[in-house]
Amino acid sequence: MDGELTRQTAADLAAAMAAGEVSAVEVTQAHLDRITAVDGSVKAFLHVAAERALAAARAVDEQRAAGAPLGPLAGVPVAHKDVFTTADMPTTCGSRILAGWQPPYDATVTRRLREAGMIILGKTNMDEFAMGSSTENSAFGPSHNPWDLDRVPGGSSGGSSAAVAAFEAPLGTGTDTGGSIRQPGAVCGIVGVKPTYGGSSRYGLVAFASSLDTPGPLARTVLDAALLHEAMSGHDPCDSTSLDAAVPPVVAAARQADVSGLRVGVVTELGGEGYQPGVMQRFTETVELLESLGAKIVELSCPHFAYALPAYYLIAPSEASSNLARFDAMRYGLRVGDDGVRSAEEVMSLTRAAGFGAEVKRRIMLGTYALSSGYYDAYYGKAQQVRTLVIRDFEAAFEQADVLVSPSTPTTAFRIGERADDPMAMYLADLATIPSDLAGNAALSVPCGLAPEDGLPVGFQIMAPVLADDRMYRVGAAVEAALQRRWGHALIDEARGLDGAGR
Amino acid sequence: MTETVAAVAFDDAVSRYEPVFGLETHVELGTITKMFCGCPAAFGAEPNAAVCPVCLGLPGSLPVVNRRAVEYTIRIGLALNCTIATWCRFARKNYFYPDMPKDYQISQYDEPLCTDGYLDVAVAGTVVRVGIERVHMEEDTGKSHHMGGATGRIHGADYSLVDYNRAGIPLVEVVTKPVPGTGALAPEVARAYVTELRELLRALGVSDVRMEEGSLRCDVNLSLSPAGSGQWGKRTETKNVNSLRSVERAMRSEIERQAAILDAGGTVVQETRHFHEETGQTTPGRSKEEAQDYRYFPEPDLVPLAPEAAWVDGIRASLPELPAARRARLQAEWGLSDLDMAAVRNAGALDLVAATVAAGASPANARKWWLGELSRHANESGTELTHLPVTPDQVARVAELVSSGQLNDKLARAVLDGVLAGEGSPDEVVAARGLAVVSDEGALGVAVDEAIAANPDLAAKVRDGKVNVAAALVGVVMRATRGQADAAKVRELILAKLS
Amino acid sequence: MPITREEVAHLARLARLALTEEELDRFAGQLDVIISSVARVGEVAADGIPPTSQAVPVTNVFRDDVLVPCLGAAAALDQAPAAEAGQFRVPRILAED
């Protein structure tokens, strides 16, 4: 039955298809039906590629029938963030300036999904050019949290997160620059992972902040996330910053789920004031849970983490101001004001004013400011020094702990519109996630409960050293398994926001 | 700003002001592919056929450094006696322009690959050491064609058409240190520097350095200060200097222009100017209310360059003989004075003479033909020596025919005429035109008898012992035989018959 | 030091953003708050601390000087806002560079 198929994990769907119990076409159709039923409310998708998806599913079924060797996720549907280029679907990055843009090439991550036999259901909504924590900065309207449709699904990968949480897809791709996978994962009650920087190729990922952008998986279970992580990752010669190292054995680690003897560091600076009490409560309980599972808990201070947010809001906009300069109406995308008399400079300015939203404009100007002569040393230069200090804090901390933990984000999902007029308030959503983006190490968010005051999901962040991604999967899997035992079901099963919407 | 100041002649200007100049030269590298992608660096006619997501700057594209471009840059740096950085980065130079696919250029800013070198340049018998500040890598922009205006230039155009085939081609920028103290010779030193640099780059095999085609571009920086003031003046930068001659002319023009302003008590505006081939003058470029703020920062899509010592050493070991060293060696081998060697260089005949010597001619003969008869031909037809349709091998053959007595100079000139006219190789021309020297005593004897008979007075004088007069009779025979007689043999016969 | 409206207008020009008067005022206020906040990085004593521009240190990534198939002019121009004679047609450019 369709309802059952969409409630399955990616691992289970893959196994069922491999065993011949169900076809890829049936699986894809079930998810397309689910999208039809609920996406009017969730608004996770900007573009649904139904025909292509079914064609791809048919191809997988034919290959399987012919006995061709297929990967572990063959036939599994995936919701693909609209920041990745797709040669057969539009790529808008949530922006009017790219409305309808049809790239002539696939991103490497897109190619890897296809080569793995996964079925791209469509492109998901996002904050414009990945700048935001709620999808409210999308030029095409926000997505809605399946737990409560009046609330944000987080951002910038809010569309993929909502799609997975709404059972529209078992897997979703996202990108994390300041927390844009982990925070939406946390507020939607699912798993969101930021791999080690460079672990997954940025070729074809429309750049926001080049030294921070990291593609990663969103899924309802730790194992599913690990499976997608492996499929998405690997060295890419087209990306000079791509890691030339083997993908850490994250799937094996996800199956291991054992933390006995592991040193777990609680970072003092990532918690307490500014964090919702219910969030802190669930976090603390999860730490105690880890201790009961055999982990050793240590309290650690990373003093420069307090400066991570301002450093990030200098580095990221600076790189973005340069990365977004190419949107100038000359070669592709929106062109406004070309009346045959206006100059190229004027057309550029009018187009960018019409095509970019307010947050993007703010960050472009902030970045332009931070890089301008006379200000570079005090702002961009200083921020890069803070970055060094954050890295050193991590190095020191990882000498005393194998993983570091914190709440993923200070609050549960806020209401749509609640922070729209207050950029600084919006930025605070990234408090706990930003340090790992600056340092490039691996971090994930795993659901750890519902906040008592509002019944909304809380995420537990686990950080591991560079290239030790498997370690955080091990801990994440242990937490997930223990909580599942305690509750008797997965947390996501409690999401009620779509009741009546064709479950 | 209209310049209604009294004009100053160049000689006057340099007698009262000291020029300090610098040159920035952009070199298009002759790699197979572009700087950051696999598109061809040399391309055919169809616009936008040699582009990909990377050089078109499409969203999501990323650059990857062409190793050979780095190797070529190191090669240039080593040949210019530079220090090669052990660690350096690329940087973004941010500005908006329609021919810039990303609206930033990937270049190098405060961490160039090569620094602090020099190039010795010989001018008017002295050697000037031009310091090299830096050599760095960057990418070229696309090309725009301005449509609708009268001149094809930007001013007055209605719109533009852009071709990105050139975007992303590797460029190396060579920046000199300021060159003071050259006085009146400044324009020649500047020209000689560019000439020497061009020869060097060609010898290194890193670029075809054709200024007319834009693979070598020069910007000329110049400032003037009152003689003996010890302070340097305001500097202008002149672009669109597209030939060696233009380098010299642009310098002269700027020196005169700035001197006139300073004479009138004005201040030279620090600006970018545009050189005009037709007038030999410069005009102001865009008036910039605000100086460009390029907001340089390290390129985050690329990782640092840390060329290993072994790699650099390998490149150094593989450097060819550099032009200056080669010239010194050839000058010694040919036993030429500095003046004679300069004459060979100035005629553009160095490689031709060397090749002719390699083909068997003596240095003296090789020089004689290339600087003499062939230079005359080149001047008359308005071509360059290297473009004449005659090869060093052929010239060597002609010299050999003269040495062996089969041709004399006059006949040799006729043979060269034939080769240049496309009649074939020297031997073919000799055969076809029947230009061989006639040495046969029988045939010559007849001609000599006829000459003696026709000139009894001359014959009498020779009989009397005025041997020198025999030359006149030789001349008669030569004319009668259309220059084909073996002159020495003719003289022998005359003396024999009249003794 | 608060950022002035003129500075914001200058930034908008540099970044090719045609802002309305109302936007200039609004952004000036918001940027002022943000800049004051991010300026906190100045509090960190960082003498002698090297800046990090790349989180994971790697050097010398190259490609070989080997041809790779191009997009083709049709694909390159396919999404152009305006094209003519196989080239991208752009509005008149004001100044030489």
pLDDT at site A1: 43
In angstroms, the separation between the Cα of residue C82 and the nearest Cα of chain A is 8
Return the structure tokens found at A9. 């994990």
ipTM of the complex, rounded to two decimals: 0.96
d(C-alpha B94, C-alpha B115), whole Å: 23
Q: Token match 């301008």: residue?
A: A372
Is A156 an active-site residue? Answer: yes
pLDDT at B411: 87
Nearest chain C Cα distance for residue B292, angstroms: 9
Cross-chain residue pair C70–B285, CB shorter than 8 Å? no
The answer to whether B162 contacts C87, with C-beta atoms less than 8 Å apart, is yes
SS3 A199: coil
> Which residue out of A81, A123, A160, A233 is catalytically annotated?
A81
Mean pLDDT rounded to a whole number for chain A: 96
- CB A372 to CB B295 under 8 A? yes
Question: Would you place residue A503 in the very low, low, confident or very high pLDDT band (cuts 50, 70, 90)?
Answer: very low
pLDDT of residue B289: 47
**Average pLDDT value over all residues in chain B:** 91
Number of DSSP helices (H) and strands (E) in chain B, helices first: 17, 15
Summarised one tens digit per residue, pLDDT across range B60-90 is 999 999 999 999 999 999 999 999 999 999 9
Least CB–CB distance from B161: residue in C58, C73, C89: C89
The pLDDT of residue B437 is 77
> Which residues 89-148 of chain B have a CB within 8 Å of chain C?
89, 95-98, 144-146, 148
How far apart are the CA of A333 and the nearest CA of chain C, in angstroms?
Answer: 7
Contact yes or no for A211/A315 (Cβ under 8 A)? yes
Residues A296-318 have a mean pLDDT of: 97
- Assess whether pLDDT exceeds 90 at residue B143: yes
Partner C contacted by A398 (CB < 8 A): no
Instruction: Report the pLDDT value the prediction gives residue A251, as an integer from 0 to 100.
Output: 98
Domains in chain A: boundaries? 2-304+388-494
Crossing angle (nearest 10°) for helices A10-18 and A24-42: 150
Would you call C38 an interface residue with chain A, using a CB distance cutoff of 8 Å?
A: yes
pLDDT at B480 over 90: no
Q: Where are the domains of chain B?
A: 10-312, 323-433, 441-497
Least confident of A134-138, A427-431, A495-499, C68-72: A495-499
Tokens of B410: 């006059």
Predicted pLDDT at C67 = 97
Strand, coil or helix: what is B267? coil
Q: Measured at the alpha carbon of residue B432, what is the angle toward residues B430 and B437, in degrees to the nearest 5?
A: 35
pLDDT tens digits, residue range A1-16? 445 999 999 999 999 9
Q: What mean pLDDT is predicted for residues B246-255?
A: 95
Report which of C59, C53, B302, C55 is spatially closest to residue A441, judged by C-alpha positions: C55
Write down the pLDDT at residue C74.
96
Which helix (DSSP H) or strand (DSSP E) does residue A486 occupy? helix A469-487
Checking if the pLDDT of C97 tops 90, the result is no
What are the tens digits of pLDDT across the range A165-205? 999 999 999 999 999 999 999 999 999 999 999 999 999 99
Contact A134, A416 (CB under 8 A): yes
- For the cut 90, the answer to whether the pLDDT of residue A88 exceeds it is yes
pLDDT in tens, C52-72: 988 878 999 999 999 999 999
Report whether pLDDT(A501) > 80. Answer: no
User: Where in chain C are the domains?
Assistant: 5-43
Nearest CA-CA distance, residue C66 and chain A, Å = 13
What are B196-237's pLDDT values in tens digits?
Answer: 999 999 999 999 888 888 889 999 999 999 988 878 889 999
If you write DSSP's letter for every residue of A255-299 in order, what string do you get? HH---TT-EEEEETTSSSTTS-HHHHHHHHHHHHHHHHTTPEEEE
User: What is the CATH T-level fold of the domain C5-43, as seen in this structure?
Assistant: Histone, subunit A (1.10.20)
Q: Which CATH class is domain A2-304+388-494?
A: alpha beta
Residues of C whose CB is below 8 A from B69: 65
pLDDT digits (tens, 9 = 90+) for A141-164: 999 999 999 999 999 999 999 999
B69 contacts C89? CB cut-off 8 A: no
Which of A180, A200, A201, A233 is the catalytic position? A180
pLDDT in tens, A240-281: 999 999 999 999 999 998 899 999 999 999 999 999 999 999
Q: Identify the pLDDT of residue B488.
A: 87
Q: Return the residue of A nearest to C54 by Cα.
A: A211
DSSP-derived letter for residue A454 is T
Three-state DSSP class for residue A395: helix
Distance CA B95, CA A372 (A): 12
pLDDT at B2: 54
Q: Which distant-in-sequence residues (6+ apart) come within 8 Å of A131 by Cβ?
A: A137, A156, A208, A320, A359, A360, A363
Cβ contact (<8 Å) for A198 and C56? Answer: yes
Which string of b and e fits B250-264 if b means at least 16 CB within 10 Å? bbbbbbbbbbbbbbe
The larger pLDDT score, comparing residue B493 to residue A112, is at A112
From residue B401, alpha-carbon distances to A324, A375, B239, B427, B486 in Å are 71, 76, 51, 9, 13
Q: Which of A41, A134, A156, A321 is catalytic?
A: A156
Residue B14 has a CB neighbour count (10 Å cut-off) of 23
In chain A, what percentage of residues exceed pLDDT 90? 95
Q: What is the dihedral of CA A135, A139, A144, A145, to 10 degrees?
A: -10
Question: Is a pLDDT exceeding 50 seen at residue B125?
Answer: yes
Angle at B13 between CA B10 and CA B15, to 5 degrees: 110
* Res. B42: pLDDT tops 90: no
Over range B154-176, report the average pLDDT. 93
pLDDT band of B287, cuts 50, 70, 90? low
Which of A203, A206, A244 is the best substitution to test chain B (most B C-beta atoms within 10 A)? A203
B33 band by pLDDT with thresholds 50, 70 and 90:
very high
A313/C37 CB distance under 8 A: yes
- Contact of A180 with A159, CB cutoff 8 Å: no
Nearest CB to B48: which of C64, C68, C77?
Answer: C77
The predicted-structure confidence for B406-444, as pLDDT tens digits, reads as follows: 888 888 999 999 999 999 999 999 888 888 777 778 888
Given a cut of 70, is residue A502 above it in pLDDT? no
Q: What's the rounded mean pLDDT across residues B453-463?
A: 90
Of A108-112, A235-239, A324-328, B388-392, the one with minimum mean pLDDT is B388-392
